[in-house]
A and B are shown apart, each in its own frame.
Chain A
Amino acid sequence: MRPGPGGCCCRRTVRANGCVANGEVRNGYVRTSAAAAAAASQIHHVTQNGGLYKRPFNEAFEETPMLVAVLTYVGYGVLTLFGYLRDFLRHWRIEKCHHATEREEQKKKKKKKKKKETKKKKKKKREMDFVSLYQDFENFYTRNLYMRIRDNWNRPICSVPGARVDIMERQSYDYNWSFKYTGNIIKGVINMGSYNYLGFARNTGSCQEAAAKILEEYGVGVCSTRQEIGNLDKHEELEELVARFLGVEAAMAYGMGFATNSMNIPALVGKGCLILSDELNHASLVLGARLSGATIRIFKHNNMQSLEKLLKDAIVYGQPRTRRPWKKILILVEGIYSMEGSIVRLPEVIALKKKYKAYLYLDEAHSIGALGPTGRGVVDYFGLDPEDVDVMMGTFTKSFGASGGYIGGKKELIDYLRTHSHSAVYATSLSPPVVEQIITSMKCIMGQDGTSLGKECVQQLAENTRYFRRRLKEMGFIIYGNEDSPVVPLMLYMPAKIGAFGREMLKRNIGVVVVGFPATPIIESRARFCLSAAHTKEILDTALKEIDEVGDLLQLKYSRHRLVPLLDRPFDETTYEETED
């Protein structure tokens, strides 16, 4: 069913308290109830919350079919049993051990020897051994499950990670314990795995030329920290540009996206503060929160009722035991969740944040550049004011084809970070050619380079996203996430299909990312496609054709809500909902 005029094809139940209940809440995901969805013959999950949203917000997490869930658990059961069996065989040296071993001198001595010693009851102190570096169960999963399908990860490439990529062929003669490079190169693999959202990963063009010029002038390193003598004019230029790009007062750039989170959150909050964190937040946010020493509470993924309850309880009841009020409350959310493909319900988060006087930390690692009509991220996408977000964080790795991260916000915030951020004091600053790449690509997106190239890229990505998601759904796959998110998770569920899907796709010259536990919940293994403005329609169609084929081969088309293919719709008509606002 296509949305009617006004973009109001939403089903919603309004509760007395004014909250919008979005279908059922199960396992932390907001899911459409199957019966209702079937009745409406559409799987889109649409909410429009009393005018908070200026555009339709379609996010779907189709429920796992029961049979699939049961079979997935059985699959893991079988794998675990075989794992134990093989561990047993390895222990008795029936199966050859391939893994690296501890140094002879540091190995834990066999128990026998110990027993002898105790039997003899030597009065001499019993010599302690080196405690083994890893606990056995830690490695069980790696040894027995991951190792079987290890070839799907860390595939080395030897070209620009653009729309097509060259992969180095490798082979394993010992069941993935080690790899040998055959020397062949698999050329022109369609790259559905890199976070090259706007297609700025290029080795030609203005960005590369500018970076090359700066490289020759400045060299690659900086050899000092920002506070000491590593603050180049280029860094200042970048920060000024980032602030303008985001529409905030000031910004600061850091050398690594991960560290931007993990080293700056501790500067903002500390003991006596409360962090409310989405359950699916990235590891860097989790680490930063942990290092800060603040109390951390987790709310269900993108679930505003859960967030509101936590906020209310926090303010009403204060700190546990001491009952003092919290010093401040910081909400940590991401713009696009990289494993779910969902977009944060930012208008609601901002409404809650204002109501409860909390602060908002928005991680736009995946959404900056990739969302919004002008590529300014999730704030732009919802048409909100960047002033309402206290801390705007993001990375340069993805849309800008460089590396590093930034934080933007009010001048006071940035001044404080300039003096107190861990990475300003202790970590080396960004490499000049990398800075130049960011500056050039950002100017391109802003249209300051005098071309409309950047704008076209942003539009192309939005079109690609809609098209690709729509086609996959029509084929009958279960696709998670928001229909505007360029991160497209395709559900595989069963552990055996993770490996099979990755390999089959590579055989067909398409590089995809497959993920399983622990990056996802145990039964929700998935493949993930990242769309790029560099993908042309031909590339996407080829990829879709092959995915369709592999989907049939591996029986991945789990969805019970088939969409009727809209054959009359031309490829580029993807803005049909935007125009209806």
Chain B
Amino acid sequence: MATATEQWVLVEMVQALYEAPAYHLILEGILILWIIRLLFSKTYKLQERSDLTVKEKEELIEEWQPEPLVPPVPKDHPALNYNIVSGPPSHKIVVNGKECINFASFNFLGLLDNPRVKAAALASLKKYGVGTCGPRGFYGTFDVHLDLEDRLAKFMKTEEAIIYSYGFATIASAIPAYSKRGDIVFVDRAACFAIQKGLQASRSDIKLFKHNDMADLERLLKEQEIEDQKNPRKARVTRRFIVVEGLYMNTGTICPLPELVKLKYKYKARIFLEESLSFGVLGEHGRGVTEHYGINLSLRKYSQAPESRERNVWTLFGSRFKQMLLKENLIDDIDLISANMENALASIGGFCCGRSFVIDHQRLSGQGYCFSASLPPLLAAAAIEALNIMEENPGIFAVLKEKCRQIHKALQGISGLKVVGESLSPAFHLQLEESTGSREQDVRLLQEIVDQCMNRSIALTQARYLEKEEKCLPPPRVGSFQSALPTSLCFKRRWLGASRVETIWSPFPLSRTSTGKKRTTPPFYCL
């Protein structure tokens, strides 16, 4: 039926063509040609538009005006004019021509102007000169570097250590040496800037968890686990890392390491620990946060170790080996520890330590290690001597802690300001209890406090941040870093008097005797 109609239509059409008048056909023909022309002319015009003539290009080049290389900096930018320190930045410091008591340097152990450290550095200077004139690979490895690496590894009770010539470059180079594109890094929101840069250089997937919030971390890890189960093939090559700080530079809080280790084994992620602030501060011997949690950690680890595999190992090798393993394990649970030698050790540079399997990789892949000149030998020698002093006087860490606790307590009483962070952190951050609403104003207010303190011979500093660059910008704070000097008491008194927001003055319980003559214990306040 349908075919019949179709045929009929076709026949009719042909018939109509025959019957149509000539003018009609001609008109139709012209129309068709017109359409074709339109089509072609359109494409032609497009082409014409996209091809620039040489002259047009020159005009474009002539026209283009770039932005200035850098935007102008307002003359009153708070960070433009640095404080000028004349003379050594030790416990007495001359800032802008005024002598102050120094509460603003990271010189926790007072090693900066220790005569032994100076003597060691001087001996090295006389032997090696100042510079190394080459990267580690090309005749820039000195025997002192090897010594220092050895000493650091022994001090931290790890297999191997590697030193960098710049503290900032340490973790920033270490992270991208392992974590590559496609890998996943779980990182604390409050992580310091060096970690942020390292992560950026690694180009990995970054998952931020709330500061010190293990539940949040676990939530992210769980999410990832579910994701992995969907795509097990990809999961098998996706490395997972947790990057945390021992003592957070931005908040002064300690990371909950035991929980982290638990999560590590549960979700099979490796832990990188940044200990710049906690190295030489926490723990009985200043080994940092691993030692701080040390005993607990080993017990928990043993009791929680569900893997029969581990137990098998121990039964195999006997109990003595087990004990040894337990002892050594504390730090072994952390895949990589990095710290800088610029705070407690009062030298320059940084180091990473851990198992050789992990650390050795950086000798070819750590950019800051391979492509940079090595650490000047005199700085390495100073760091070795500082380690000697730390090993010889383990008491200083207790003194430091005690002072931190006392100062922390004393600082509590100030109304209008609150102290952020743990009591055993040598860096105190004082933050406005109530923000004035705008960051700028807060900064100005705090600067006022700092200036007032400076007038009363107390050197404090505002913690500086690059506001546009920080991932999660901490609120403005005054940083004060306490060093355990006999002057702590007067500091407190003067400081309190100076602060405008201060209303009630409470007697400060820090006793002079606790600090004694020894000036080995420097805590450090961060307002």
Asked if B87 is an interface residue, CB under 8 A from chain A, the answer is yes
Q: How far is the CB of B114 from chain A (nearest CB, A)?
A: 8
Asked if A359 is an interface residue, CB under 8 A from chain B, the answer is yes
Q: How far is the CB of B208 from chain A (nearest CB, A)?
A: 18
User: What band does the interface of chain B fall in when counting residues whose beta carbon is under 8 Å from A?
Assistant: 35 or more
Asked if B101 is an interface residue, CB under 8 A from chain A, the answer is no
B84 close to A434 (CB less than 8 A): no
Residue from B64, B104, B313 whose CB has the most chain A CB atoms within 10 Å:
B64
Give a binary string over A124-148; 1 marks a CB under 8 Å from any B CB, 0 the rest: 0100111101110000001000100
Residue from B89, B137, B165 whose CB has the most chain A CB atoms within 10 Å:
B89
A220 interface neighbour in B95, B169, B348, Cβ under 8 Å: B348
B378 close to A159 (CB less than 8 A): no
Give a binary string over B208-231; 1 marks a CB under 8 Å from any A CB, 0 the rest: 000000000000000001001100
B129 close to A219 (CB less than 8 A): no
Binds A, one of B140-148, B387-395, B402-410, B430-438: B140-148
Q: How far is the CB of B271 from chain A (nearest CB, A)?
A: 11
CA distance in complex: A161, B377 (Å) = 11
Asked if B22 is an interface residue, CB under 8 A from chain A, the answer is no
Q: How far is the CB of A339 from chain B (nearest CB, A)?
A: 12
Asked if A217 is an interface residue, CB under 8 A from chain B, the answer is yes
Asked if B102 is an interface residue, CB under 8 A from chain A, the answer is yes
Asked if B61 is an interface residue, CB under 8 A from chain A, the answer is yes
A218 interface neighbour in B71, B88, B373, B461, Cβ under 8 Å: B88
Q: List chain A residues, Cβ under 8 A from B87.
A: 217-218, 233
A259 close to B166 (CB less than 8 A): yes
Asked if A419 is an interface residue, CB under 8 A from chain B, the answer is yes
A291-B125 CB under 8 A given contacts A231-B82, A232-B85: no
Binds B, one of A5-13, A70-78, A421-429, A444-452: A421-429
A326-B66 CB under 8 A given contacts A196-B133, A201-B133, A259-B169: yes
CA distance in complex: A415, B238 (Å) = 43
Q: How far is the CB of B188 from chain A (nearest CB, A)?
A: 17
Q: Which positions 417-445 of chain A face chain B at CB distance < 8 Å?
A: 417-420, 422-428, 430-434, 437
A129 close to B268 (CB less than 8 A): yes
Q: How far is the CB of B447 from chain A (nearest CB, A)?
A: 12
CA distance in complex: A391, B87 (Å) = 31
A328 interface neighbour in B67, B86, B134, B169, Cβ under 8 Å: B67
Q: How far is the CB of A445 from chain B (nearest CB, A)?
A: 15
Which residue of chain A has its CB nearest to the CB of B168?
A427
Which residue of chain A has its CB nearest to the CB of B142?
A157
Q: List chain A residues, Cβ under 8 A from B168.
A: 256, 259, 263, 422-423, 426-428
B166 close to A211 (CB less than 8 A): no
A219-B61 CB under 8 A given contacts A153-B137, A287-B367: no
Which residue of chain A has its CB nearest to the CB of B75?
A415
User: What band does the interface of chain A fall in when counting residues whose beta carbon is under 8 Å from B?
Assistant: 35 or more
Asked if A104 is an interface residue, CB under 8 A from chain B, the answer is yes
CA distance in complex: A159, B139 (Å) = 11
Residue from A103, A202, A256 whose CB has the most chain B CB atoms within 10 Å:
A256
Q: Which positions 138-194 of chain B face chain A at CB distance < 8 Å?
A: 138-143, 145-146, 159, 165-169, 178, 192-194
Q: List chain A residues, Cβ under 8 A from B348.
A: 220-222, 255, 428, 430-431
A327 close to B138 (CB less than 8 A): no
Give a binary string over B355-378; 1 marks a CB under 8 Å from any A CB, 0 the rest: 111101101100110111101101
Binds B, one of A18-26, A340-348, A400-408, A458-466: A400-408
Binds B, one of A27-35, A187-195, A473-481, A562-570: A187-195
Which residue of chain A has its CB nearest to the CB of B466?
A425
A359-B66 CB under 8 A given contacts A284-B371, A428-B167: yes
Q: How far is the CB of B216 from chain A (nearest CB, A)?
A: 20
Q: Which positions 130-180 of chain A face chain B at CB distance < 8 Å?
A: 130-131, 133-135, 142, 146, 153-162, 165, 168
Q: How far is the CB of B465 from chain A (nearest CB, A)?
A: 7
Give a binary string over A312-353; 1 marks a CB under 8 Å from any B CB, 0 the rest: 100110000000011111100000000000000000000000
Asked if A257 is an interface residue, CB under 8 A from chain B, the answer is yes
Q: How far is the CB of A530 from chain B (nearest CB, A)?
A: 8
Can you list 28 contacts pairing A with B, beta carbon distance less than 8 Å?
Answer: A103-B357, A128-B235, A130-B268, A154-B136, A156-B145, A157-B141, A200-B131, A203-B128, A218-B88, A219-B90, A221-B345, A223-B89, A231-B84, A256-B372, A268-B70, A282-B371, A287-B201, A291-B197, A315-B61, A327-B67, A359-B66, A397-B131, A398-B373, A415-B73, A423-B168, A425-B465, A428-B342, A430-B348
Q: Could you list which residues of chain A lie within 8 angstroms of chain B, going by C-beta atoms?
A: 99-106, 125, 128-131, 133-135, 142, 146, 153-162, 165, 168, 191, 193-196, 200-203, 207-208, 211-212, 215-233, 236, 255-259, 263, 266, 268, 282-284, 287, 290-291, 312, 315-316, 325-330, 355-359, 390-391, 395-398, 400-403, 412-413, 415-420, 422-428, 430-434, 437, 511, 513
User: Nearest 10 pairs between A and B by C-beta?
Assistant: A416-B70, A256-B166, A258-B372, A100-B356, A397-B373, A231-B82, A427-B168, A221-B346, A194-B133, A437-B130
Q: Could you list which residues of chain B lie within 8 angstroms of chain A, going by C-beta atoms?
A: 52, 57, 60-61, 64-73, 77, 79-80, 82-90, 93, 95, 102, 104-107, 111-114, 117-118, 121-122, 125-134, 136-143, 145-146, 159, 165-169, 178, 192-194, 197, 200-201, 225, 228-229, 235-240, 265, 267-268, 270, 307, 309-310, 313, 332, 335, 340, 342-343, 345-348, 355-358, 360-361, 363-364, 367-368, 370-373, 375-376, 378-379, 382, 459, 461-466, 469, 479
Additional 8 contacts, C-beta under 8 A, given A215-B378, A422-B193: A105-B307, A133-B357, A212-B126, A223-B346, A315-B64, A412-B73, A426-B168, A434-B379
